[in-house]
Amino acid sequence: MKENSLFELVNRENKWFSVKVPLDLEKKVVASIEDKIYRNLIILKRLRFISVASLSIMTCFVVLFFAFHNRTKMVFVYPHSGNEKRVYLSRNNEKIPMVLDEEKGLWTVVIHAPHKSIYDYEFIVEELPEESVDVTTGDVGVKEE
């Protein structure tokens, strides 16, 4: 008898069954979607921030790289008389010691100018035996490469 009712059910053309749906399903679905959207927005924001930050860092790096490599190299030379203790190149109270090239008989120093412009440099000579300072101004011995 019971078996027959099962066959009757399968033979009918109307609905056989329906699934019990949780009452709060709709709320849960909407809440989960809102949560996913919110989380994705945060991720998107972070990704955007990271991409902007990395782009800025890369730009800075490229600018610095080219700035460094495009700096004008200047070689300063000062004739060695044999009496100097030390020769300095000076600009804005900053003293840069020059190196003595005994073979050529020259004091030399290489400077990288930040950009092309006109700069004022001075040679400061510390002579022997008295420590007198001879200041020579002008473009003496300046070479640009």
Partner 1 sequence: MDEKELIRKAKNGDFEAFKKLVSCYNKQCFSFAYYHLKNRADAEDFVQEVFYRVFLYLKRYDEKRKFFSWLYAIERNVLMTFFKKKKKKQLEVEEVFVENIVFYDEKLNIEDRVALFKAIENLNEMEKDLIFLKYNEDLSIKDIAEAFHLSEENVKVKLFRAKERLLNLLKERRV
Q: Which residue, 6 or 133, is less far from partner 1 as judged by CB? A: 6
Structure-derived torsion over alpha carbons of residues 143, 94, 78, 141, reported in degrees to the nearest 10: 30
Q: Rounded to an integer, what distance in angstroms lies between the CA atom of residue 77 and that of residue 86?
A: 13
Smallest distance from partner 1 to CB 31, Å? 9
Q: Output the smallest distance, CB 37 to partner 1, in A.
A: 7
Identify which of residues 32 and 70 has a Cβ nearer to partner 1 in the complex. 32
3-class secondary structure, 30: helix
For residue 46, the minimal CB distance to partner 1 (Å) is: 19
Of 2 and 69, nearer to partner 1 (C-beta) is: 2
Does residue 68 contact residue 111 with C-beta atoms inside 8 Å?
no
C-alpha–C-alpha distance, residues 75 and 108, integer Å: 7
Matching residue, tokens 């990704």? 47
Which residue, 115, 116, 84, is CA-closest to 98? 84
Where along the sequence are the contacts to partner 1 (CB under 8 A)? 2-3, 5-12, 14-22, 25-26, 28-30, 32-33, 36-37
Which residue's CB is nearer to partner 1, number 15 or number 116?
15
Nearer to partner 1, 29 or 63 (CB): 29
In the complex, minimum distance from the CB of residue 24 to partner 1, in angstroms, rounded to a whole number: 10
Rounded least distance, CB 50 to partner 1, Å: 23
Cα–Cα distance measured from residue 121 to residue 138, given in angstroms and rounded to the nearest whole number? 7
